[in-house]
């Protein structure tokens, strides 16, 4: 890690990146934002913009249930519960019992209610309130190693699932005729999103994770002509928002997650007038 910090000192001659915690935060955002941006492209294409919001809210329920079951590692609790929650949402949505936005809203509300019910007993919720806003400045070198592993693995799975997912979104009947197991492909995708969301919650926060996943992809869609451009622009906008938000938060002395999301929102606002011209 010392070598990486030394290289960053040589490449980034800015006072805000002299502190070790700022370097770690920058590395974390460089590892988080590309994966979230790529997953966001498919979430936007499949009209699942609020799906990650429901998963984010379920993080509180995962921590609470893990606490009841005696699980010491909150991240393990969140990932396991998040995957179960994501597959359950997808399964009920496929049954066609109600509209997708209604199902997601129900699960989102239930997830945060269960979490608050358990974690607020005896006035103890203050210990977990940091999950709401996140704090990327608290990232540790060990966390960076986990994120460094998650990024290439997540991108590889996304690339493997991309074509089947895209065909399933455009024409499910054609996808099934091509031998694509649409149900399992969708379960794999929502599980991947769940893992990525849970890995990011501690640094981005429950309240902001959905925006960081969707905004770069939505902004990229305004200016992209092809699927490849959509993915590329989404990653670039995500990276720009992460770095710019971190610097902005440093000089304004405010929350990093909110600053990153605000930068992504500005990118969306700037690209929105270009949408019709690009089309």
Task: Answer for the pair 60, 119: CB distance below 8 angstroms, yes or no.
Answer: yes
Enter the tokens of residue 238: 């995500």
Fold of 18-120+138-278: ABC transporter involved in vitamin B12 uptake, BtuC (1.10.3470)
DSSP, res 19: S
Rounded Cα gap, residues 208 and 200, in angstroms: 10
DSSP, res 123: G
Burial 118-145 (b: 16+ CB within 10 A, else e): bbeeeeebeebeebbebbbbebeeebbe
Task: Answer for the pair 139, 25: CB distance below 8 angstroms, yes or no.
Answer: yes
Distances (CA, A) of 184 to 88, 132, 170, 187, 190: 13, 31, 17, 5, 10
Enter the tokens of residue 202: 């501690």
Rounded Cα gap, residues 33 and 30, in angstroms: 6
Rounded Cα gap, residues 155 and 196, in angstroms: 11
Domain ranges of the chain: 18-120+138-278
Q: What is the pLDDT along the chain (279 residues), one digit of tens a residue?
A: 666 766 666 667 677 777 888 888 888 889 888 999 998 888 887 777 777 778 887 888 888 888 788 787 878 888 888 899 888 888 887 776 667 778 778 888 888 888 888 877 766 666 667 777 777 877 878 778 888 888 899 889 888 888 888 787 777 777 777 777 778 888 888 888 888 888 888 777 777 788 888 999 999 999 988 888 999 999 999 999 999 998 898 888 888 888 888 999 999 999 988 877 666
| Backbone φ and ψ of 139, nearest 5° | -65, 140
Which of 223, 208, 219, 215 lies closest to 256, judged by CA?
A: 208
Residue 239 pLDDT: 92
**3-state SS of the chain: helix, strand, coil percent to 5?**
85, 0, 15
The pTM assigned to this predicted structure is 0.84
Residue 9 pLDDT: 60
Rounded Cα gap, residues 159 and 144, in angstroms: 23
Which of 16, 46, 24, 22 lies closest to 193, judged by CA?
A: 46
Rounded Cα gap, residues 249 and 251, in angstroms: 6
């Amino acid at each position: 890690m010392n070598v990486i910090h030394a290289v960053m000192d040589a490449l980034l001659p800015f006072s805000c990146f002299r502190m070790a915690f700022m370097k770690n935060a920058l590395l974390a955002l460089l590892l988080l934002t590309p994966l979230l941006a790529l997953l966001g492209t498919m979430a936007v294409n499949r009209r699942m913009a609020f799906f990650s919001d429901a998963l984010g809210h379920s993080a509180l329920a995962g921590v609470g249930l893990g606490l009841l079951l005696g699980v010491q590692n909150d991240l393990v609790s969140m990932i396991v519960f998040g995957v179960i929650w994501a597959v359950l949402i997808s399964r009920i949505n496929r049954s066609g019992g109600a509209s997708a936005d209604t199902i997601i809203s129900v699960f989102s509300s239930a997830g945060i209610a269960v979490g608050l019910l358990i974690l607020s007993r005896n006035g103890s919720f203050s210990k977990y309130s940091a999950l709401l806003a996140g704090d990327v400045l608290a990232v540790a070198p060990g966390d960076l190693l986990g994120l460094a592993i998650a990024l290439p693995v997540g991108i590889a799975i996304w690339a493997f699932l991309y074509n089947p997912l895209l065909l399933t979104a455009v024409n499910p009947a054609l996808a099934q005729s091509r031998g694509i197991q649409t149900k399992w492909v969708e379960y794999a995708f929502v599980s991947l999103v769940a893992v990525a969301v849970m890995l990011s919650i501690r640094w981005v926060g429950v309240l902001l994770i959905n925006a960081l996943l969707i905004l770069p992809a939505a902004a990229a869609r305004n200016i992209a002509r092809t699927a490849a451009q959509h993915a590329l622009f989404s990653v670039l906008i995500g990276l720009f928002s992460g770095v710019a938000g971190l610097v902005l938060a440093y000089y304004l002395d405010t929350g990093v997650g909110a600053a990153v999301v605000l930068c992504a929102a500005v990118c969306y606002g700037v690209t929105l007038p270009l949408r019709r011209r690009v089309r």
